[in-house]
Amino acid sequence: MTSEVTYLGDLRAESVHLSSGAKFVTDAPVDNHGRGEAFSPTDLVATALANCMLTVMGIGAQGRGIDMDGTHVTINKIMAANPRRISRIEATVTFPDKPFTDEQKKVLEHIALTCPVAQSLHPDLEQAITFVWQS
């Protein structure tokens, strides 16, 4: 098993990662009856995309001797109604000012765009990914 999630009341839930014991709380967003005091479940979906891209790029970079430490992703999640769902995730992947070759850039971008979370999201959910290279 991966995790256990418990409803705490007041539109909050606590998730526990079973193998590590790490915990986090989610809250309903303000625009959907919540307080917006923690990540919402849909925030986690968008954030999971960023984490997945960074993780698999890190694996690829490590195997190729590429230093991508300091790379970060900003996420913007856009919701739709009827049915309420994530319609678009905008992600900007910004790489630090390091000497990346054109081939390294191409490989890392491909890895990010084909990460497991990106491949798992519904095709109707638009993924707008922008890569910013400081070098």
Does residue 54 share a domain with residue 24?
A: no
Q: Are residues 17 and 46 in the same domain?
A: no
Domain hosting 16: range is 3-32
- pTM (predicted TM-score): 0.94
Structure-token match 């303000």, residue found: 30
Q: What percent of the chain has pLDDT over 90?
A: 99
Same domain, 64 and 90: yes
**Distance of alpha carbon 9 from alpha carbon 12, whole angstroms:** 6
Average pLDDT of the segment spanning 68-89: 97
User: Residues 30-65: pLDDT tens digits?
Assistant: 999 999 999 999 999 999 999 999 999 999 999 999
Residues 72 and 122 occupy one common structural domain: yes
Which residues lie below 8 Å from residue 92, measured CB to CB, with a gap of 6+?
A: 73, 74, 129, 130, 132
Contact 22, 4 (CB under 8 A): no
Q: How far is CA 82 from the centre of its chain?
A: 24
Domain count for the chain, please give it: 2
